[in-house]
């Protein structure tokens, strides 16, 4: 037995107990006649003391050789600490060491193992096993475990069954790129890693499992944007004999439970907003509603004057920045530059100061009088002391631009509080979205999403107007979950595949098993999937999902610690019936 106690548990009540501890040397203070060592493990820190009056010489000698991150075992007696440390739970005691063993030595770590480290991102990733020794990283991983336990116990309690679906499945060209896995036993053929267990969970519903969930790794071979991982984890859920309302209630319950259990926060009933409203009010289908700054559409009150920029715009839309009238001219100019950056792409920004005396001062005073500007204030909800920012142009683009500005301003003003939680259901998503590149409609959610009842006919005439039984759960401006009621009859599914450009042969080759299944008594069903990495990071009050993943990959999809991916030998390739055919 290496230890009788952890380094986080000894208290004043343990004084005079003989103990054995083990752990890492966090730091040492050596005064020659006396040596103190902070011994660390996952559970805390305990101070060891070596004292030439009370400690054997050989033990003193070993103690004097201990370096940072050495792994040691120490036996001794719990004694009262002379100068107590109120900052740690073990701060009332220390261990007078009688015996010390070096279990393993350590090179000086390449960065400090402290809450605030001097290690850069790259170094921390290469030595991730050392990074995990740091409290914040380890606590994030423990937090993630608590979240998954809470999810599992909650859903299990509600009669959901976790079913493992296969990882070696079949490639489908729909959606993002699959990672593929060559099969040696079936030469020339490939498995694909699942982008989600979508079809399998639907088959489980056909199979009568009734309520399914799974916390499961999914894979997408996408060009990685910042904070995207080629492998990610979903809380995947599906229910049979349900309508949208049942799903929303069930998973609102789950989310509320998590907020209560993990954050101690009681949240009222989640508000709901249609996709159209979200776009109109926030320019975004995942609005952060922790703060106001709702969009005010100003076409009616701006397009009767001589300001051509607004007159020619499809949409003129503004937001009121609370207290923004304190911004200097220079600050406002910088804001204008910010929206004009290529990433945002606005052509310019009109602003209007709402003075404390009730008067207005805008950048377009030439065209608009006080009465006009009062209407702007009225529509955007601006009060005395606020600043109105107005963008104009093509509806789709200008909404995205103003949404970006809104988020940026909220960030600057400290309105995006990590410990405040504002969930929101966004409902009535369009069934299809127009893809500029291929010049055709694609399924916005996926091809199994059910159109709203009675809207199927619209597909031929106004496909973009067809709404789906699809919904997203948004938390603090992040989509944490999304799902839909599925199609459950073969005819509608065939129609949908046809509409999305699958020939009947392609549909059969890729989804024949699902179409077959629908013939044998498929129940109405629907579900939702949560992005666990994102959910955990938001509940944890942070933004970066990488901080909540034990061994994340970098933006090139590489694990820099183990140096993967890597070349494999030719023998292995040959066995798989493959050879390289490099482009470069």
**Contact set for its own copies, span 426-485 (CB under 8 A):** none
Residue closer to its own copies (CB basis): 370 or 570: 570
Residue closer to its own copies (CB basis): 177 or 397: 177
CB of 569 to its own copies, least distance (A): 8
Convert residues 53-92 into a mask of x (bound to its own copies by CB under 8 A) and - (unbound). Answer: ----------------xxx---------------------
How many chain residues are in contact with its own copies, going by CB under 8 A? 130
Q: Are 347 and 336 in contact (CB under 8 A)?
A: no
Strand partners, 507: none
Residue closer to its own copies (CB basis): 132 or 265: 132
Measured distance CA(102)–CA(426) in Å, rounded: 58
Binding segment for its own copies among 203-211, 262-270, 411-419, 464-472 (CB under 8 A)? 203-211
Q: Applying CB under 8 A, which of residues 75, 256, 353, 488 lies at the interface with its own copies?
A: 488
CB of 200 to its own copies, least distance (A): 6
Q: Per CB under 8 A, which of residues 153..192 are in contact with its own copies?
A: 153, 156, 161-171, 173, 177, 179-192
For residue 477, give Cα distances in angstroms to 95, 173, 561. 49, 30, 32
Which residues have a Cβ under 8 Å from the Cβ of 154 and sit 6 or more positions away? 253, 254, 257, 258
Binding segment for its own copies among 241-249, 265-273, 366-374, 440-448 (CB under 8 A)? 241-249
CA 138 to chain CA centroid, nearest Å: 18
Rounded to the nearest 10 degrees, how much is the dihedral formed by the CA atoms of 60, 65, 66, 71?
-100
Q: Applying CB under 8 A, which of residues 426, 522, 535, 538 lies at the interface with its own copies?
A: 522
* Per-residue exposure over 185-215, b if at least 16 CB sit within 10 Å of its own CB, e if not: eeeeebbbbbbbbbbbbbbbbbbebbbbbbb
Residue closer to its own copies (CB basis): 371 or 563: 563
Q: Per CB under 8 A, which of residues 530..569 are in contact with its own copies?
A: 549-551, 553, 556-559, 561-569
Answer yes or no whether residue 505 interacts with its own copies by CB under 8 A: no
Residue closer to its own copies (CB basis): 106 or 364: 106
CB of 197 to its own copies, least distance (A): 10
Answer yes or no whether residue 138 interacts with its own copies by CB under 8 A: yes
Both tokens of 223, joined, read 């060009």
Q: Applying CB under 8 A, which of residues 224, 265, 495, 515 lies at the interface with its own copies?
A: 224
Q: Are 207 and 240 in contact (CB under 8 A)?
A: no
For the beta sheet containing 272-274, the strands, ordered from the edge strand earlier in sequence to the opposite edge, are: 161-162, 211-219, 231-240, 525-531, 478-485, 470-475, 423-427, 272-274
CB of 479 to its own copies, least distance (A): 21
Measured distance CA(184)–CA(201) in Å, rounded: 28
Answer yes or no whether residue 199 interacts with its own copies by CB under 8 A: yes
The three-state DSSP-derived secondary structure of 42-62 is CCEEEEEEEECCCCCHHHHHH
Structure-token match 């009056």, residue found? 53
Q: Per CB under 8 A, which of residues 25..44 are in contact with its own copies?
A: 40-43
Measured distance CA(575)–CA(183) in Å, rounded: 9
Q: Cβ–Cβ contacts within 10 Å for residue 10, how many?
A: 24
Convert residues 242-281 into a mask of x (bound to its own copies by CB under 8 A) and - (unbound). Answer: xx-xx-----------------------------------
The DSSP code for 109 is: P
CB of 74 to its own copies, least distance (A): 12
CB of 201 to its own copies, least distance (A): 10
Q: What are phi and psi of 390, to 5 degrees?
A: -125, 130
Q: Per CB under 8 A, which of residues 92..111 are in contact with its own copies?
A: 103-107, 109
For residue 167, give Cα distances in angstroms to 38, 170, 197. 45, 9, 9
Q: Per CB under 8 A, which of residues 345..374 are in contact with its own copies?
A: none
Binding segment for its own copies among 89-97, 204-212, 308-316, 494-502 (CB under 8 A)? 204-212
CB of 146 to its own copies, least distance (A): 9
Residue closer to its own copies (CB basis): 180 or 458: 180
Binding segment for its own copies among 209-217, 272-280, 351-359, 382-390 (CB under 8 A)? 209-217
């Amino acid at each position: 037995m290496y230890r009788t106690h952890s380094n986080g548990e000894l208290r004043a009540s343990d004084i005079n107990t003989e103990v054995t501890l083990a752990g890492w040397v966090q730091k040492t203070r050596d005064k020659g006649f006396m040596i103190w060592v902070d011994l660390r493990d996952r559970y805390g820190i305990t101070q060891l003391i070596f004292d030439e009056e009370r400690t054997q010489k050989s033990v003193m000698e070993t103690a004097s050789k201990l370096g940072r991150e050495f792994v040691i075992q120490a036996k001794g007696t719990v004694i009262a600490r002379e100068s107590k440390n109120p900052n740690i739970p073990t701060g009332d005691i220390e261990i007078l060491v009688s015996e010390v063993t070096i279990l393993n030595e350590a090179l000086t770590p390449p960065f400090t193992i402290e809450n605030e480290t001097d290690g850069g991102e790259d170094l921390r990733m290469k030595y991730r096993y050392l990074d995990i020794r740091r409290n914040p990283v380890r606590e994030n991983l423990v937090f993630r475990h608590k979240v998954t336990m809470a999810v599992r116990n909650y859903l299990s309690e509600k009669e959901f069954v976790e079913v493992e679906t296969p990882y070696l499945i079949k490639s489908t060209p729909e959606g993002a790129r699959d990672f593929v896995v060559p099969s040696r036993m079936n030469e020339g053929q490939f498995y694909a890693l699942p982008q989600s267990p979508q079809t399998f969970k639907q088959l489980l519903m056909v199979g009568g499992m009734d309520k399914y969930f799974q916390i499961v790794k999914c894979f997408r071979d996408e060009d990685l944007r910042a904070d995207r991982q080629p492998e990610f984890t979903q809380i995947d859920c599906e229910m049979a004999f349900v309508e949208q309302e049942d799903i929303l209630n069930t998973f609102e319950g789950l989310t509320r439970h998590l907020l209560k259990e993990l954050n101690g926060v009681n949240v009222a009933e989640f508000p709901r907003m249609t996709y159209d409203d979200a776009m109109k009010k926030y320019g975004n289908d995942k609005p952060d509603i922790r703060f106001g700054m709702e969009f005010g559409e100003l076409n009616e009150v701006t397009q009767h004057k001589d300001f051509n920029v607004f007159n020619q715009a499809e949409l003129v839309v503004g937001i009121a920045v609370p207290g923004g009238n304190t911004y200097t001219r220079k600050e406002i100019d910088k804001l204008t530059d910010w929206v004009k950056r290529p990433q945002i792409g606005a052509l310019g920004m009109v602003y209007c100061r709402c003075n404390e005396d009730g008067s207005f001062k805008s950048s377009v005073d030439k065209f608009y009088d006080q009465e006009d500007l009062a209407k702007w204030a009225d529509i955007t909800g601006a009060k005395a002391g606020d600043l109105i920012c107005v963008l104009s142009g093509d509806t789709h683009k200008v909404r995205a631009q103003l949404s970006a500005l809104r988020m940026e301003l909220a960030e600057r003003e400290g309105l995006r509080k990590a410990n405040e939680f504002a969930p929101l259901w966004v409902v009535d998503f369009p069934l299809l979205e127009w893809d500029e590149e291929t010049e055709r409609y694609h399924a916005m959610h996926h091809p199994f999403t059910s159109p709203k009842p009675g809207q199927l006919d619209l597909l031929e005439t106004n496909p973009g107007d067809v709404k789906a039984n699809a919904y997203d759960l948004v938390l603090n401006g992040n989509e944490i979950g999304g799902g839909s009621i599925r199609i459950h009859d073969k005819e509608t599914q065939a129609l949908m595949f046809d509409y999305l450009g699958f020939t009947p042969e392609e549909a059969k080759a890729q989804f024949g098993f699902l179409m077959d299944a629908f013939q044998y008594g498929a129940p109405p069903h629907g579900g939702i999937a949560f992005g666990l990495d994102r959910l955990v990071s938001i509940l944890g009050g942070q933004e970066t999902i990488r901080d909540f993943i034990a061994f994340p990959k970098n933006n090139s999809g590489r694990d820099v610690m183990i140096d993967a991916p890597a070349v494999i030998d030719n023998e292995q390739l040959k066995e798989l019936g493959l050879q390289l055919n490099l482009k470069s």
